[in-house]
Each structure stands twice: as structure tokens, then as C-alpha cells.
Amino acid sequence: MQIPFTHQTLANGLDVIVHEDRDCPIVAVNLWYHVGSKNEQPGRTGFAHLFEHLMFEGSQHYDSGFFRPLQEVGGSLNGSTNADRTNYWEVVPSNALELALWMESDRMGYLLPALTEAKFENQRNVVLNERRQNYENRPYGFAGMSLVAALYPPDHPYHWMTIGAAEDLKAARLDDVREFFQAYYRPRNASLALAGDITAEQAFALAHEYFGDLEPGPEVPPVHPRRTPLQGETRILLEDRVELPRLYLAWHSPALFAADDAELDLVAEVLAGGKTSRLYRSLVYDQRVATEVAASQGSRELGSFFQIVATAAPGRTLAEVEQSVATELAGIRGDGPSPAELERCLAQAEAHFLHRLQTVGGFGGKSDQLNAYNVYLGTPGYFDEDLARYRRAQPEDLRRAANTWLGPARVALSVVPRGRKELALEGSRPVDVS
């Protein structure tokens, strides 16, 4: 699929990518800052995301909520932070593109003069409530934190989740915000994609006008974690307010776009994509030891983890679940997928890929994808190559990838109902997360 685009780098280092699509009279503005929770330090976790919230609280020349002027012209907008990057987007009627660029450039250039202790306190409370809602008060909500803490050592940038620790959020200071902004929220560390009902000429002229005179900012040193392979299997357990025990198995796996990344994505699809997948069929359909099962290659910039998650059916044990998963893993490591299985998974991968490109903006639309390719690879138009990684894969490649990566060195997390530690896999060590 062709996504034609034009790319310029402004003198201050800001990448600008433009894609024209005249189907609908809207324009997507999508801005990536190459900073995420991986850039945080132990004891200061959750900060990149808290900072993202402050970006919506006004800047020097419009010191009021960021949402209002954009919603007034019929736009929608949001932002998100993950381990690797922070993104911000607006989708506006094409007559309001200039407003969106004015707003984005003002917070890129002039956030700090508008920052106050009151705004900071307010958004810290909002984020603590986001943490309560999405993690603390949700069944299995602490599983992700326990897993990454066991997969990576304390000084590794993926040791904590993006939401961070509550005590770190409470300890954050306004001065940290200033430092963080100066270091990371600069044109040199950002990539701007505009997609939709515009001409490239108009788009570049506006990008120059609004972003061209901002100072480039310092160079951001790359994050290079030391390699810390897992030694054998680590078994941990977590008690939670849940009815059914759940098993999480996680392995270190190759980074986003590295060799075997696409192959493992396909392995996940073979294992748990839909009702004909191997794990669904065996665990849920035939043996009924599990009530749900999922697998994913969670691709990230500095290294990924591959994960299988299965919830035991009532009366069944996690040991049984683990045994059934082991049988299916042995199958994929032994014979690999059949050509027909791989063909089905490829059709699914292609459909998912196109699905993400149906919109010009938002999370996962064309502008977001252009920025992803640009920030991670320096090649905004990587679409065909990306899909080709999947189309190239042969059954033997999946077999080999499963053997290379899904071996005995892994983390096995049992989440069990409170007071029922005996339901965990044997030899699991309790972990404390809050």
C-alpha cells in the first residue's frame, strides 16, 4: 500500500513529514517526542507520563486548558506516553490546521512560563487517580508491574511501568518538570507528521512559521541498557482480589524491527490469534483448562518481551495450564507451523496492518505510523518493508525464532485469589507490589 509523503528537516532539527489525503476534509497533526519512561531514573518513575499531563494545562501565549480552543473548532485530541516515546495528536477540520500548529508549537517553545505549582499538584492528583483506576483497583492490575520488575534488573530502563510508582509520583517536584522539558521537549528530539486534506507546500510553510524559530535544544544521549539475560526460570506469585488464577509467561525477545521481531509476532498469532489458534484450540476449546488465552510480541525499542497469558477455568490449576502451554510450545518449536496456518496468520497480519491505516490521525493512524517509522528507523515510508518482513517469513523461520527465544529462561507469574497461594506454580516466590 502506497502512503506517499514528503519529508523535511528544519534547521533546528525538527523533522516534518507530510502526507496528502483528500478523502475527508480533516487534517491530522501528530507530534512525537522521543522520550518515555525509559529515560527516567529509579526513584523518579512515572515522570514522563506526569509531564505529558502538564502539556495540556496551557503555555505562555495561551495560558489556559489546551483542549478548549481545539474542541471549539471541532477538533479531537489526545496524547500518550509509553516506555519509548510520548505522542500528541489533534485531528481538526482542514480550516483549523493553523490553530493546531500554533498550539503545539507554543507548548513546545513556551511551556515553562505558564507552569505553576497549582497545575502541577492538580495533575499529580489526576495521575494518581489514573493509577488507582487502571492498576490498583483493577483485577490483575499489578501483574504488568510484577512482570517487568522480574524481567529487568532495577537499573534497567524497562524495570518499571510507564505509570510509575505512587511514592515516586508523590515525590516529584516542579523543578524536575523544568529540567525534563529543557532536556527532551525540543525540536531536535521531535518529529511532526501532518496528514490529510492539505498541500505539502502549505503544510511546510506553516511548520516553518510556527516551529522554525524554536531553539533546537541539546542532543539527547541514547539509552543503552546493559544486557541482562534471564538465568533459567523465575517463578513469582501475586495475590489479588480475583476469582480465577491466571498465569503469565514472559521471555526476553528481539527489539522492535530487529531480526525475528516479525517472526515472533506471527508465532503469537499462530499460538493465540483467534479460535483456530493452537493455544485457544487446545486450552479453551478441547481441554477446557483455561477460560481465555492470549499471546503477544510486545515490540519495544530497546528489547521486547514475548508473553503468554492464560486464565484457569474454575477447578483447574495453573500447573495444568502450564503443562498444556508447554505441549503447544513444544509443537511450535518442534515442527513449526503448517504452511496453511502461516497463510492464515499472514492474512490476519495484513488486515491488522491496513486496519491501522484507515484513519489519517489518532493513535495508530497514518500520521502516527509515519512518525513511528521516522523516530525508530529514520525512514518514514517504511510501510512496504514493514509488511514485507511478514510476507517473507517461512514456517521454518517461525520454528527457528520460537527455538531461539522461547526457551527455559523466562518469568512465570501466578496471580492467585487472596489467601490461595497454594494455587500458584510450585516454588513461586511472593512479590510485593502496590
Partner 1 sequence: MPADRSRLPRPGPEPAWAFPEIRRRRLSNGVDAWTAVHGEVPLFSVLVVVRAGAAYDPADRPGLAAITGDLLDEGCGELDALALHEALGRLGAQLDTEVGADATLVGLTTLERSQAPAMALLAKMLASPRLETADFERVRDLRLNRLLQLRDMPPAVAERVFTERLYGAHPYGHLPIGTEESLRAMDPEALRAFHREMYDPARVTVIAVGDGSHEALADTIEIAFGGWQGEPGDHVQPDPATLPIPPAEADLVVVPREAAPQSELRIGHVGAARSSSDYHALVTLNLVLGGQFVSRINSNLRERKGYTYGARTSFEFRRGRGPFVLHASVQSDATADAVREVISEFQAIRDDRPVTQEELELGRAPLTRGYPRGFETAEQIARAIAQIALYDLADDYFTTFVPKVLALTPEDLTRAAVKHIDPERLAIVIVGDGKAAGLKG
**DSSP secondary-structure letter at 256?**
T
Of residues 173-202, those binding partner 1 (CB under 8 A): 197
Of residues 257-276, those binding partner 1 (CB under 8 A): 273-276
Per-residue binder mask for partner 1 (CB under 8 A), 61-90, x = binder = xx--x-xxx-xxxxxx--------------
By the rule CB under 8 A, 133 interacts with partner 1: yes
Least CB distance from residue 434 to partner 1, whole Å? 10
**Closest to 299 in 3D by CA, of 359, 255, 354:** 255
Of residues 316-335, those binding partner 1 (CB under 8 A): none
Check if the beta carbon of residue 246 is closer than 8 Å to that of residue 143: yes
Q: Given the complex with partner 1, which of 63 and 176 has the nearer CB atom? A: 63
By the rule CB under 8 A, 122 interacts with partner 1: yes
Least CB distance from residue 142 to partner 1, whole Å? 12
Query: Helix 318-334 vs helix 395-405: angle between axes, to the nearest 10 degrees?
Result: 130
Check if the beta carbon of residue 424 is closer than 8 Å to that of residue 414: yes
**Closest to 135 in 3D by CA, of 245, 247, 238, 251:** 238
Check if the beta carbon of residue 219 is closer than 8 Å to that of residue 121: no
Cell of 60: 505562555
By the rule CB under 8 A, 218 interacts with partner 1: no
Q: Given the complex with partner 1, which of 155 and 343 has the nearer CB atom? A: 343
Task: Return the residue of 63, 136, 176, 233 that touches partner 1, per CB under 8 A.
Answer: 136
Q: Given the complex with partner 1, which of 93 and 407 has the nearer CB atom? A: 93
Q: Given the complex with partner 1, which of 350 and 386 has the nearer CB atom? A: 350
Least CB distance from residue 340 to partner 1, whole Å? 8
By the rule CB under 8 A, 343 interacts with partner 1: yes
Q: Is 159 exposed, middle or buried (0-12, 13-18, 19+ CB in 10 A)?
A: buried
In the beta sheet, which residues pair with residue 17? 7, 193
Print burial letters for 210-244: b (CB count within 10 Å at least 16), e (below 16): bbbebeebeeeeebeeeeeebeeebbbbbbbebeb
Task: Return the residue of 11, 24, 259, 330 that touches partner 1, per CB under 8 A.
Answer: 24
Least CB distance from residue 245 to partner 1, whole Å? 11
Cell 502496590, residue located: 434
Q: Given the complex with partner 1, which of 206 and 375 has the nearer CB atom? A: 206
By the rule CB under 8 A, 241 interacts with partner 1: yes
Task: Return the residue of 242, 249, 283, 401 that touches partner 1, per CB under 8 A.
Answer: 242
Rounded-to-integer distance, Cα 411 and Cα 429, Å: 11
Cell 486496519, residue located: 355
- Coil vs helix vs strand at 427: coil
The amino acid that residue 165 corresponds to is A
Of residues 375-404, those binding partner 1 (CB under 8 A): none
Cell of 270: 499462530
Q: Given the complex with partner 1, which of 80 and 102 has the nearer CB atom? A: 102
Least CB distance from residue 117 to partner 1, whole Å? 13
Of residues 25-54, those binding partner 1 (CB under 8 A): 25-26
Q: Given the complex with partner 1, which of 273 and 303 has the nearer CB atom? A: 273
